[in-house]
Amino acid sequence: MSLIEQIKLLTDKQLPKHIAIIMDGNGRWAKSQGLERVHGHQQGVLSVRSTIEGAGEAGIRFLTLYAFSTENWNRPKFEIDALIALLVQTIHLEKENLMKNRVRLQTIGDIASLPAHCQEQLSQITRDTRDNTGLTVILALSYSGRWELAHALKNMIRDINEGTLCPEQISQEKIPHYLCTRDMPDPDILIRTGGDYRISNFLLWQIAYTELFFVPAMWPDFRKEHLWNIILDFSKRQRRFGKTGEQVEHEI
24 is catalytic: yes
Measured over all CA atoms, what is the biggest interatomic distance in the chain, rounded to whole angstroms?
59
Stretch that binds ligand FPP, among 10-18, 38-46, 143-151, 158-166 (CB under 6 A): 38-46
65 binds ligand FPP (CB under 6 A): yes
- Find the binder of ligand FPP among 90, 119, 155, 200 (CB under 6 A): 90
The catalytic residue among 72, 101, 132, 155 is 72
Beta carbons within 10 angstroms of residue 231's beta carbon? 26
Q: How many CA atoms lie within 13 A of 53 on its CB side?
A: 13
By beta carbon distance, the residue nearest ligand FPP is 27
- As beta bridge partners, residue 19 has 63, 189
C-alpha gyration radius of the chain:
19
Q: What is the dihedral of CA 125, 126, 132, 136, to 10 degrees?
A: 110
Contacts with ligand FPP by CB under 6 A: the residue count is: 20
211 in helix, strand or coil? strand
113 in helix, strand or coil? helix
- Find the binder of ligand FPP among 106, 194, 203, 234 (CB under 6 A): 194
54 binds ligand FPP (CB under 6 A): no
86 binds ligand FPP (CB under 6 A): yes
Residues that bind ligand FPP (CB under 6 A): 23-28, 41, 44-45, 48, 65, 67, 72, 83, 86-87, 90, 139, 194, 219
